[in-house]
Structure 1
Amino acid sequence: MAGEKWAFEQTFSFNHLPCKEFSFLKDRDILKLLMKWSMLGRMSAQSYSFDQCFYPYNSHAFALCFFRDPNVASSLRKMEAGAWVPLDKPVVSVDVEPVQCTKVSMELFDPIYSSGIVRPSGHVVKCIHDVYPDYDELRQMLQEEDSEHHDVVGKEEQGEFLFRLFKHLCIGGELCQYEDTIDPYISTTKHIYKDLISVQKDPETKKISVVSTVLKVCAYDESGRCYPGRREEEQTFAYVIVDPFKRHATLFSHFYGVGQFTL
């Protein structure tokens, strides 16, 4: 009981790390793809240090402290009418969804290559759709549960942060120009994932494992949902990725809409 009380009352303090850079936000080839996918200028990543030991069972308290911390609140921006604006009211509550994150290779995507979604050349197979004239089997697999390919990647694997990231990139922003081949989605997913996730190698077995905890988060002020956006939208998302050893937390987010047209 005492341990439960300690967990409930535990608080965290945070410091913004503005010098922490992410290579995917500097890579010109990736930036061009984000522009093509209508995500440029709407995707961000920023890091913070924190002062207490983090344990996954205390994720809700951690996230609430995160959004309430003045050093975090002063650095947060949300997008309204195409412009970045600060949060105007204090956060009073949060929703936190733990996201499975165990993958250290891209083998998760192997079934996509052997199921008729992608040709041996890497080109995505086109398909006829009642609503979208320029549709393909990849987006159908990702977005429609009645697709014959929907379960090609298992349900548990679809819950992995690696797959979620891939799906976010494939769906893109409001004016997304979709790729004819799968390779840009795969390579960009890999690059961003490696930037965000921390791993360690077991000195005896040499096995590499993920040490990060990933939390999908949503914050509320007195008026309701405030971050990452007022309206619920699949492509408006925010994840807090925690490295418990470095005591770093990275906020990775995207706001659905029309991205920048120039670098």
Structure 2
Amino acid sequence: MKAVSGTRSVTAGLQSVTAALKILRLFSVERTSLGITEVARHLNVAKSTAHRLMTSLMEEGFVYQDPKSRRYHLGLAVLGLGGIMTADSDLWMAAAPYLTELTMRTGEASHIAVQDGLYVVYLHKVESHHPVKILTHLGRRNPLYATGSGKLLLAYAEADLVDAVVEQGLTAYTVKTLTDPVRLREQLQHIREQGYAVSRDELRDHVTSIAAPVFNHRRQVVAAVNIVAPSHRVPAHVVGERARAVVKTADRISKDLGFRPERRATARTLAD
């Protein structure tokens, strides 16, 4: 009986951990606070259970409660974990100085991004010094098929991931978003051949991004480096120049991660 009771206790504990992690996942750039009713609805649990979970997270510093609104916000413990991850990340440490140089050279905001399921997430950013900037958020998940970094990562991914993205549905965010699976696959092949990706007005109007792959010592693509700018600052005749700068930056980061290329495609100017 004790063994059965112990097993049930462990199972209940794991379920609570899973629920707590799901709560943290509910926070986003668009949803910076949560109420008990929202948490209960999203987790499909009673309000009393939601309150107990939020209390546990609050005691550990992962959330705090606004005394006026009674809503919960992410706490400093989350920031602390993020700082540890950043400090301990070979990828981030390798990328940071080169992103600064890339922004200085191009004048545009630069990022390093990784795949997260069917999405792409920015890990680090160096802001542009132009007065007109493109607002991007660290940690925000964007669709792989509609961004420069996302398409770059998708181009070098296994076919199963491309299939999963297509099966989920290709939502049109602008009139230029690729929603035809055949055209998307053709473009991904083109990206692999030229060694970089360009997304122009596909996720947001008047926004262009150019991305290149970062390889590790096993010759696997582990991240994408990109620049993001208002489209009017990246006319067709400068795309090739900007792409070469992005590819060079990605190559330098790859080298620091132990990558030794056999052959690499050379960035060239796009016809568009």
Higher relative contact order (CA 8 A, sep 6+): 1
Question: Larger Cα Rg: Structure 1 or Structure 2?
Answer: 2
Calculate the TM-score normalised by the size of structure 1. 0.27
Calculate the TM-score normalised by the size of structure 2. 0.26
Higher helix share: 2
Higher strand share: 1
